[in-house]
Amino acid sequence: MQNKKVLLIFPKDIGDVISLDNEVYCPLPLLYLSIPLINKKIDVQIIDQRFEDNAFDEINKAINQNIVCVGINLLSIFQIKHVSSLVKHIRKNYPDTKIVIGGIAATLLSDKILNGGYADFVVSEEGEETFSELVDSFIKRGDHSKIKGIIYKEEGKIIKTPKREIISLDDYVDLPYHLIKKYEQNYDYYYLITSRGCNSKCSFCFIQTSPNCKWRGQSPKIILKQTIALLSLGHKFIIYNDDNFFVDLSRIKEFLSYIKKYNLDFRWAASARIDTICRYSDNFLKELNECGMKELYFGGESGSDRILGLLNKKISVGMIKKVNIRLKSFNIKPEYAFMENIPTETDEEREDTIKLISRLKKDNPDASIVGPITYFPIIGTKLYEDAIKGGFSPPKKFEEWGDLPLYIVEDFRGKIIKK
């Protein structure tokens, strides 16, 4: 008997907004989801729509009599247009095939997805265990109502089962890179997520939307193992793209000790908070650089202290400037993301952000800037309420969330990327 099969799709986004450098990242969420399925001897196929001239043809080839369901990732609202056309294709041609959507934007927009008929099930928050149990219930034609962390519709009513407990990150380690081998030449970056969640409480961030978003990290030995797996595939630059990589200093120190012990020769980048790096000694910054850390990604957010306060960022413009100058002397390249059109932001405050960006570039020509990107209100956050008070009118339907005419992304290296 042939194995059962699950098809996972990473949809296209609206193209040039994927990042200001058009950098393409591997579809990591789908690799995590695949781990428990592979362990259960279920065949998994991944279609990365970003690199398929005709994804519908690929879907037609992939769906056969062994298919259990199709799972689609929805990381951000930028993918909505493509998710909706993928779903329409599957619904029309394979009406009996179950569709499951998961991801951060799916979690936040679950009611709209289900009311629009775009999925049979939405998996809320972390998907590894939830999706694996849901797939089991499809195979056994069993009862799904006891599965934690799913959202579905029954007799016209939206049913949300109880939240699932957070998973242990050290249990999901062996990422099945072979599933994306077909696309490997297309990815600029392979990244790892060594921790999930964040303990900060920035008022605009999706972290605010769930108590499950409390920070927890992989153990240093597991970070080492996943790093070595990527190095052995020939990748010499790795991004530790956690929400907040440096929360537990002892974890980082132990990881650095392994880099030295095993003489690992690679360059890496990580996400960080400005205040964390402010606290680090010169010696520690030197050690990080010697261990291969060449870039740091920060949320700078605004050049106005009032706005930084409103965002509950717990940093100041002065701290951003200081970190920028310090990193220059350690040869660590900083990247800062900025936003604009934040609720209550004045023209002067927006101008302060532009001035800060010029200053950062002047003080450290290696610094790179993302944005300012138009602030986008995330459901369930404190700032979402402020945006509504300020006149933001949230779309009612799923497709309309993908149509929001919000994105004016200016590249401070010279050109307007999208208007």
**What is the closest distance, in whole angstroms, from the C-beta atom of residue 318 to ligand SF4 in the complex?**
18
Cα–Cα distance for residue pair 156/173, rounded to 1 Å = 39
128 binds ligand B12 (CB under 6 A): yes
Contact predicate 271/297, CB 8 Å: yes
Output 132 or 287, the one with its CB closest to ligand B12: 132
Q: Which is nearest to 194 in space by CA: 173, 172, 217, 224?
A: 217
Applying CB under 6 A, among 127, 217, 299, 377 the residue interacting with ligand SF4 is 299
DSSP 258-315: HHHHTT---EEEEEE-HHHHHHS-HHHHHHHHHTTEEEEEEEEE-S-HHHHHHTT---
d(CA 61, CA 110): 29
> Measured from the CB atom, is 68 or 308 closer to ligand SF4?
308
Report how far residue 30's alpha carbon sits from residue 45's, in angstroms, rounded to the nearest whole number. Answer: 10
H-helix or E-strand spanning residue 416: strand 416-418
The correct pick among 110, 130, 227, 244 for binding ligand SF4 (CB under 6 A) is: 244
Q: Binding to ligand B12 by residue 151, rule CB under 6 A?
A: no
Regarding 364 and contact with ligand SF4 (CB under 6 A), the answer is no
Helix (H) or strand (E) holding 190: strand 190-192
Residues with Cβ < 8 Å from 381, sequence gap 6 or more? 203, 204, 205, 206, 208, 209
Question: Does 207 sit near ligand SF4 (CB under 6 A)?
Answer: yes
Nearer Cβ to ligand B12 (45/287): 45
Site membership for ligand B12, residue 378 (CB under 6 A): yes
Is the CB of 28 or the CB of 224 nearer to ligand B12? 28
For the window 272-311, what string marks contact with ligand B12 as x by the rule CB under 6 A?
Answer: ----------------------------------------
Confirm or reject binding of residue 243 to ligand SF4 (CB under 6 A).
yes
Q: Give min distance, CB of 143 to ligand SF4, in A.
A: 37
HSE-CB for 295 with a 13 A CA cutoff: 16
Can you give the binding site for ligand B12, defined by CB under 6 A? 13, 17-19, 25, 27-29, 32-33, 71-73, 75-79, 100-105, 108, 123, 126-128, 131, 191, 193, 205-206, 241, 243, 373, 378
